[in-house]
Amino acid sequence: MIDLALMLPPYPCEKWQLAKQLGVTRAVCKLAPSLTNMKPPYEFDSLLYFKMRFKDSGIELIGLEGDQFDMNRIKLGLSGRDEDIERYCRMVENMGRLGIRLLCYNFMAVFGWLRTSTAASGRGGALCTKFEFPCIAEAPLTEIGVVREDRLWANLEYFLKAVLPVAEKYGVLMALHPDDPPLSPIRGVSRIITTLAAYKRVFNLVHSSHNGVTFCQATFSLMEDVKDVGAAAAELIGMNKVFFIHARNTVGDRFGFQETFPDEGSIDYPKLFRIYHEAGFNGPIRSDHAPAMEGEKDFDPSKGAMSSGYETKGMLYDVGYIKGVLQGMGVPYR
């Protein structure tokens, strides 16, 4: 069964009510202190507070997504990483104790997902995020300097060997999100989760039924070694490695692309969603980045947006479109 979910802000707002009116009662959330003004979610009482806040509103918090605290010491292998990994393991344990079974994480060091524009003109003047590598090709190194791929691979292995046994014990699925864009290096910082082959390497670093993938379909479609995003999805689902799906669409390639409405990009949603179903995917799918529509800004925290791509009207359009695709094919969901 496919579970429809949404990325929602940590506190009740219009988006919470709209989600329920859309019939979407499952949420993932980022609970970093910078967003919550509370203790990090590795503290049990903090995590319990947000789980119950969602529950009391009629929404199930099924997962956490993104960096829940600064993970650069872990990703870069800096002094203090063992203390941070201990905190991370405590967070995973507490998630399991509270029945929060999904953890969507990434291993992008220094900066996360990257765009060069958040207000590119889309259909009808909608505001879309866009990435153009030439805009940053000559950008200076970050304050960290050059970060080599072998360093990141070693740090990822160190991290997974510590965390996955805890995830297995407490029943939490570790769903690794690809680097976005799937391009390396950027400003001297290598990105290692940029290909389908990289994921197979991750699976071999630590063999575990809880070591899997957030299948961000648009990012996978841009990968150098993915010629058919549906075939990549079917292969990973067949390996029981897809724990979570992000649904969005783009046009372009990894060196230059723009996000679009779901019905106009390079990904054929009905075809891909049928593959998800027929390959046996059972888990959450959420609407990912969507264009900002008339009357909206490219980023408006006052409306519950946590970053560009999360404005309200595009989310409404996405959920309706996804439901229509699933219903039209007779694919069950909840």
Q: Where are the beta strands (DSSP E) in 261-313?
A: 283-287
Q: What is the mean pLDDT of residues 249-264?
A: 98
pLDDT of 21 higher than 90:
yes
Dist CA 48 CA 97 (whole Å): 10
| Three-class secondary structure of residue 46 per DSSP | helix
Determine which helix (DSSP H) or strand (DSSP E) holds 53, and give its type and residue range: helix 44-56
Instruction: Tell me the average pLDDT of the chain.
Output: 97
Dist CA 238 CA 162 (whole Å): 26
Who's near 68: CB < 8 A, 6+ residues apart? 30, 31, 32, 40, 41, 42, 91
**pLDDT at residue number 304:** 57
**pLDDT at residue number 6:** 98
Dist CA 188 CA 255 (whole Å): 16
Q: Where are the beta strands (DSSP E) in 56-122?
A: 60-65, 102-105, 117-121
In terms of Cα–Cα distance, which of 29, 1, 25 is closest to 304?
29
Dist CA 64 CA 61 (whole Å): 8
Q: Could you report the per-residue pLDDT of 108-135, keeping only the tens digit for each?
A: 999 999 999 999 999 999 999 999 999 9
Q: Could you report the per-residue pLDDT of 64-76, keeping only the tens digit for each?
A: 999 999 999 999 9
Alpha helices, DSSP H, located in 115-268 = 149-170, 196-205, 217-221, 229-238
| Reduced DSSP (H G I as helix, E B as strand, rest coil) percent helix, strand, coil of the chain, to 5 | 40, 20, 40
**pLDDT at residue number 307:** 72
CATH C-level class of 2-328: alpha beta
**pLDDT at residue number 314:** 95
Dist CA 174 CA 172 (whole Å): 6
**pLDDT at residue number 308:** 85
Domain boundaries defined on the chain: 2-328
Dist CA 254 CA 291 (whole Å): 19
Who's near 197: CB < 8 A, 6+ residues apart? 225
**Quick check: pTM over 0.95?**
yes
pLDDT of 305 higher than 70:
no
Q: State CA 166 to chain mean position distance.
A: 21
**pLDDT at residue number 42:** 98
Q: Is the peptide bond prior to 185 cis by the omega test (within 30 degrees of 0)?
A: yes
In terms of Cα–Cα distance, which of 114, 202, 222 is closest to 153?
202
